């Protein structure tokens, strides 16, 4: 629920590679027992390969494909029952989000507290 309005994530999938507009990326994956290590290893290998042997570099030539022909918009034909179900799900999500409270202290507070906590543990 900490990812926005809930309309662009598919948490029923094994993993999601989430790429933001600024190019930063994150991985969300389902944490069944034993699979976390394998998924982390997989994404570490993907990162390593994509940074050490990138398929596209600044010297790469633009693709010759005409995206206006090769990329087509998907049009979904939804019944009224599906539209009603989607609206109800969105309303339920929004209501649940309103009950969520979370607070992350500003970085300055965390920087001050972490050394004190570490010192107290020693």
Region of residue 30 (phi > 0: left; psi between -120 and 50: alpha; otherwise: beta): beta
Place of tokens 């790429």: 19
Q: Which one from 31, 77, 98, 116 is the annotated catalytic residue?
A: 31
28 phi and psi angles, rounded to 5 deg: -115, 130
Alpha carbon distance 122, 115 (integer Å): 11
Which helix (H) or strand (E) segment is 43 a member of?
helix 35-52
**Residue 31 annotated among the catalytic residues of the structure:** yes
Q: Give the residue numbers marked as catalytic.
A: 31
């Amino acid at each position: 629920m900490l990812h926005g309005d809930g309309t662009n994530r598919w948490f029923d999938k094994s993993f999601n590679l989430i790429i933001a507009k600024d190019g930063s990326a994150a991985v969300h994956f389902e944490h069944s027992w034993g699979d976390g290590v394998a998924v982390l290893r997989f994404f570490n290998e993907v990162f390593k390969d994509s940074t050490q042997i990138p398929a596209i570099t600044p010297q790469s030539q633009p693709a010759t494909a005409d995206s206006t022909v090769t990329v087509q918009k998907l049009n979904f034909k939804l019944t009224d029952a599906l539209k009603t179900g989607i609206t109800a799900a969105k309303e339920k999500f929004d209501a649940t989000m309103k009950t969520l409270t979370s607070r992350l202290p500003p970085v300055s507070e965390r920087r001050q507290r972490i050394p004190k906590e570490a010192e107290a543990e020693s």
